[in-house]
Chains A and B, each alone.
Chain A
């Protein structure tokens, strides 16, 4: 499934999500519910940079929720992809995070299956020796 389809499913499933965007680690938008997805992705990248500056430990930031009086912003990072969404005020936080993670998982490109190594030709099975004729029992007579 591509990112655009994953976002379409997300907005259909989650009535709380107002807008969402998926972008990669270079800031390239791979899916958006908005026409101006690039601008939103840039703002979210700025937000992530500010959040990274706040962290105290070495562990990387994986997700965040910022609640304001107007609504909330959710961001989930997984590998090279990041999904961000906005909601109205007082969303169900756990549910929104769950839906975003599911959408991000769906948006991830599936790894190509490895080409199977050419099957080694089996040596031709030796021809079966013709079944030996059953020996006829000598007549009892």
Chain B
């Protein structure tokens, strides 16, 4: 009985830690989301051909804005 309870607690804890890790990884992921007039959306993750150009430009803009403030 004790063993099964410990196993359940262990699995639940593992799932929580895993979920938190995945969430953190996805939150920190660099990406570009483009929204179009017809309602379509294009999400480019870091490393894809379009994002390679957009993400450095975005970094430059953020740096520019912080220097000016």
Contact = CB atoms under 8 A, between A and B. Distances in A.
B35 A63 contact: yes
Contacts of A72: 58, 62
Main secondary structure of the interface of A (DSSP, over half): mixed
A71 B60 CA distance: 11
A36 B66 CA distance: 11
Contacts of B65: 18-19, 34, 40, 86
Interface in A41-78: 43-44, 46-47, 50-51, 53-57, 59-73
Interface residues of A, number: 39
Contacts of B60: 43
B36 A19 contact: no
A50 B54 contact: yes
Given A35-B68, A47-B58, A86-B61, 6 more contacts: A40-B64, A43-B61, A59-B36, A59-B38, A66-B55, A71-B62
Closest 5 CB pairs of A and B: A54-B50, A66-B58, A19-B65, A59-B38, A59-B36
Interface of B: 27-38, 40, 42, 44, 50, 53-55, 57-66, 68-69
